[in-house]
Amino acid sequence: MLNGVDLASPYQTGFPQLGQDFVIVKFTEGTYYTNPDRVTQIATADLKAAYHFANGGDVISEANYFLQVFKPYIGQAIPILDYEATALNQWTTTNVEQWLDYVYQKTGTKPWLYMALSTENSKDWTTVAAKYPLWVAQYNNGITTGFQPHSLYGKLVHQWNWAAFQYAGGNGRLAGWGNGQKAVDLDICYWTREQWQDWLTTPKDSIVSLHPVVKWNVKRVFVVTTATGCNLYDGSDLTRIIRHLNYGSSWAVFSEENGALELGNGQWVDGRDGFSKSNPLALKTNLPGQVKIISNNSFAVLSPTAAGIKVEELEPNKLYDIVGRINNYFELKDKYDGKTVYVSGDNAYVVL
């Protein structure tokens, strides 16, 4: 489980890192408000999410307003719809589902839905619950100091993927924030860090979707581009379905037969459900290109070995130019104090 906070402006302007595993930040409201502190607030945790506070206006207009602001974080943060207040009387559950479907289609990441427990209990969420995770709110009456989630008072009526619980609203306190006197919403997520990161898929209509990243030794990759995902089959005849692959997900390709692509262990996809790209750097070592840093605590080192001396930390998710590869290390184009430096292929993936 993960501890987190959700922040808004001006209430938590200047909020620091206080041990939270994740942060959820209000980005927009209706079609008229954008949080001016969103960039600094969302930087307070590695695991990120951003929400739109529904105002009950035109569904697609509100979705597009949010997406315009959220665009730099597609693939890096989970989008969320906050359904409360005025929207409760203006939007039906069908409207809510329409917003979620639209944002999912545009980002490639399934949004969460936020609501109070009373709202969950009072409306028919059957179709929404079958598709989208829930972030539910329900508070104690007294002050909650520190990450101390209580049990849910009552129960959920529908069968959800219950992702998170906001157990303290204006009554939440953390030492280090206003001498422990300022309010902050406190949350718990029932996922692991890995599950959170896996939830973020390659976004639609983005540069990343056309330029997948792969490990240095992957020769070819297939990216699912069908909006609803695609089927995985047990043979190249594509007759027996064994599972479903999500939109935006990428997979190593091992062989091709009659337009079907093998993704390993006798598992096949229809080549028309996505696109594939080859990785020349898997076969040739003297090619220039770009790599993307995929993990924290990644460093440029002075030699292409595990014992290489670390000289500079590399920024996660940033692209770096390379001039070639030595075994599983990439030689960076930019030098450090005039010296050639390298990055491990375990921490940097090739951008195709």
Domains of the chain and CATH, by start: 2-199 (3.20.20.80), 220-278 (2.30.30), 282-351 (2.30.30.40)
Angle between helices 59-70 and 93-107 (to 10 degrees): 30
Q: What confidence tens digit (pLDDT) does each residue in 170-227 have? A: 899 999 999 999 999 999 999 888 889 889 864 444 433 468 889 999 999 999 887 6
Confidence (pLDDT) at 204: 41
Give the three-state DSSP class for 328. Answer: coil
Give the three-state DSSP class for 271. Answer: helix
**Whether pLDDT at 306 is above 90:** yes
Where residue 139 falls among pLDDT bands split at 50, 70, 90? Answer: very high
Spatial CA neighbour of 56 closest among 99, 26, 9: 99
Q: State the Cα–Cα distance between residues 212 and 222, nearest whole angstrom.
A: 9
From residue 284, alpha-carbon distances to 78, 97, 236, 323 in Å are 37, 48, 30, 12
Q: What confidence tens digit (pLDDT) does each residue in 6-49 have? A: 999 999 999 999 999 999 999 999 999 999 999 999 999 999 99
User: What percent of the chain is predicted at pLDDT more than 90?
Assistant: 78
Residue for token pair 């009659």: 258
Q: Is the distance from CB of 279 to CB of 221 less than 8 angstroms? A: yes
Tokens for 49, please give them.
């999410």
Q: What confidence tens digit (pLDDT) does each residue in 44-73 have? A: 999 999 999 999 999 999 999 999 999 999
Q: For the whole model, what pTM was predicted?
A: 0.60
Q: Is the distance from CB of 156 to CB of 120 less than 8 angstroms? A: yes
Q: Is the peptide bond before 16 cis (omega within 30 degrees of 0)?
A: no
**Three-state DSSP string of 27-88:** EEECCCEECCCHHHHHCCCCEEEEEEECCCCCHHHHHHHHHHHHHHHCCCEEEEEECCCCHH
Mean pLDDT over each residue of the chain, to the nearest integer: 92
Residues in a beta bridge with 51: 26, 80
Confidence (pLDDT) at 203: 42
Contacts of 71 (CB under 8 A, 6+ apart): none
